[in-house]
């Protein structure tokens, strides 16, 4: 299972499924398709599926001519038919995690996507969660749902977390884009980490493997918290400076 999937990934013959074609999912889908992978995007939005299949981009980071060409040559298409997840060797979950009324992450999108995958999970598939979420999500929310399929994680199917760190509007020519932003990868087992790293090492130039999905989940939160604290600090200074002026 492991060696066959690894070979498919390295030879770019693996079929990639991207679940959630938004700010994170569409650029990833376009990047993988541009590298020659066959990519199938999944979304619950009929408008986004129609736009993608029509080669019309709705995300600034993916120019319409680039998307149109990928669709024309047949490396990228989109569907709402979750039964087609079985066709994919790798499934990347890029669904939203908005805060709910109590300012806790709304996990329903991740739960829904995980249940969809579980219904047709087959031996030899790698699942990667990219959505921003709290440490423990991959093991405590995603894995129990996938385990319902009766396959052994790390042996028959593989599971990892790799946070999306893109900054929409940025590109590698301006600094950091999907192709040069370092990617942190943490798998449930060592083989899960290796397979996810094998995929992302084709997408971007630097991979940072970590010990577990929980560690990878924490790096993303730490980065966001670090940024928020610094923004607050600078705002405080700006307010004080205004008061002194």
Instruction: Provide, rounded to whole angstroms, the least separation between the CB of residue 198 and ligand NAD.
Output: 22
Number of residues engaging ligand NAD in binding (CB under 6 A): 24
Structure tokens at 131: 């959505």
Closest distance between ligand NAD and the C-beta of residue 61, in Å?
Answer: 9
Which residues does 43 contact at the CB level (< 8 Å), separation at least 6?
Answer: 19, 20, 21, 25, 49, 52, 78, 80
Q: How far is the CB of 8 from ligand NAD (least distance, A)?
A: 23
The only residue of 31, 43, 203, 216 in contact with ligand NAD, by rule CB under 6 A: 43
42 binds ligand NAD (CB under 6 A): yes
Residue closer to ligand NAD by CB (options 8, 183) is: 183
> Does residue 44 belong to the site contacting ligand NAD (CB under 6 A)?
yes
Q: Return the structure tokens found at 104.
A: 């806790």
Query: With binding defined as CB under 6 A, does residue 75 bind ligand NAD?
Result: no
Q: Which residue in the shown chain puts its C-beta closest to ligand NAD?
A: 22
Positions 5 through 34 that interact with ligand NAD (CB under 6 A): 19-25
Interface with ligand NAD, residue 68, by CB under 6 A: no
Cα dihedral across residues 211, 110, 118, 5: positive or negative:
negative
What is d(CA 136, CA 159) in angstroms, rounded to the nearest whole number?
A: 13
Q: What string marks each residue from 91 to 120 as x (binds ligand NAD by CB under 6 A) or -? A: ---xxxx-----------x--xx-------
Q: Nearest to residue 240, comparing CAs of 64, 232, 3, 80? A: 232
What DSSP string runs through 136-200?
THIIIIIHHHHHTT-PPBTTTEEEEE------TT--TTTS--TTTS-EEEEESSHHHHHHHHHHH
Separation between Cα atoms, residue 205 and residue 125, nearest integer Å: 24
Q: Which residues bind ligand NAD (CB under 6 A)?
A: 19-25, 42-45, 48, 94-97, 109, 112-113, 131-132, 164, 166, 168
């Amino acid at each position: 299972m492991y060696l066959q999937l690894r070979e498919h990934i390295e030879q770019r013959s693996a079929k990639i499924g991207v679940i959630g074609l938004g700010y994170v999912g569409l650029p990833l889908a376009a990047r993988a398709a541009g590298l020659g992978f066959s990519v199938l995007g999944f979304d619950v939005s009929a408008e986004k599926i129609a736009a993608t299949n029509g080669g019309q981009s709705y995300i600034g980071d993916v120019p319409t001519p680039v998307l149109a060409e990928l669709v024309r040559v047949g490396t990228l298409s989109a569907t709402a038919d979750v039964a087609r997840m079985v066709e994919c060797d790798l499934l990347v979950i890029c669904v939203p995690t908005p805060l709910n009324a109590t300012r806790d992450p709304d996990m329903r999108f991740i739960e829904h996507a995980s249940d969809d995958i579980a219904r047709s999970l087959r031996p030899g598939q790698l699942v990667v969660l990219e959505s921003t979420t709290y440490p423990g999500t991959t093991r405590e929310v995603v894995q129990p749902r996938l385990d319902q399929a009766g396959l052994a994680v790390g042996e028959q199917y593989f599971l990892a977390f790799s946070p999306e760190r893109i900054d929409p509007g940025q590109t590698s020519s301006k600094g950091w884009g999907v192709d040069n932003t370092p990617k942190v990868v943490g798998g449930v087992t060592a083989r899960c980490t290796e397979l996810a790293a094998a995929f992302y090492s084709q997408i971007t130039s630097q991979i940072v493997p970590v010990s577990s999905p929980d560690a990878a989940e924490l790096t993303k939160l730490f980065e966001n918290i670090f940024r928020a604290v610094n923004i607050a600090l600078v705002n405080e200074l700006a307010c004080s400076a205004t008061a002194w002026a």
